Amino acid sequence: MAIGVTENTFQLNIVSAEGPLFSGPAHALAVSGSDGELGIRPGHSPLLSRLKPGVASFVTDLKDPEEILYISGGIVEVQPNVVTVLADTAMHGKDIDQARADEARRAAEENINKHADDVNFAIAEMDLAKAMAQLRAVELTQKQMRR
């Protein structure tokens, strides 16, 4: 996931229910909004959007690769000089247990196939989205480490 960056920065705060994950200047942020992918750079118009399970990436140093996070959902608020991500759950890609995420994906797929007609389908579908987002965060993090 390549993010276009400039030398300008904005204050980025990423917080989850477990506590803060990042607070500092950032050149760019990419997150999965409920209506599509959002790319945020300095000077972005004010915005408030729900987040769906996905990967968030942000650039804090122009010389380093972007940082990768898994976000289970939440809200992003963009103000003129401050962007705040309030995540339900968030983890650095390097901290995700790939085997556990893969097992969660398999279990969710099995539940979807078994319960296509009841309320559990929506829960299984959300579980699948979260597991797939975790696996994507792991994949992107591993690609960076190989560079």
Q: Domain with 131 in it: what CATH number?
A: 1.20.5
Verify that 26 and 78 share a domain, yes or no: yes
Verify that 82 and 104 share a domain, yes or no: no
pLDDT of residue 115: 62
Contacts of 9 (CB under 8 A, 6+ apart): 25, 26, 27, 42
Verify that 123 and 52 share a domain, yes or no: no
Whether 92 contacts 21, CB under 8 Å: yes
Domain span at 128 = 98-146
Q: Which of 34-43, 46-55, 128-137 has the lowest mean pLDDT?
A: 128-137
Max CA separation in the chain (angstroms): 51
Verify that 52 and 103 share a domain, yes or no: no
The model carries a pTM of 0.78
Verify that 19 and 63 share a domain, yes or no: yes
Verify that 21 and 39 share a domain, yes or no: yes
- 56 has a pLDDT exceeding 90: yes
**Bridge-based pairing state of the strands 82-87 and 10-16:** parallel
Look at the chain and report how many structural domains it folds into. Answer: 2
Q: What is the pLDDT of residues 4-46, one digit of tens each?
A: 677 899 999 999 988 999 999 999 999 999 888 999 999 999 9
Inside any domain, residue 56: yes
Inside any domain, residue 34: yes
Inside any domain, residue 3: no
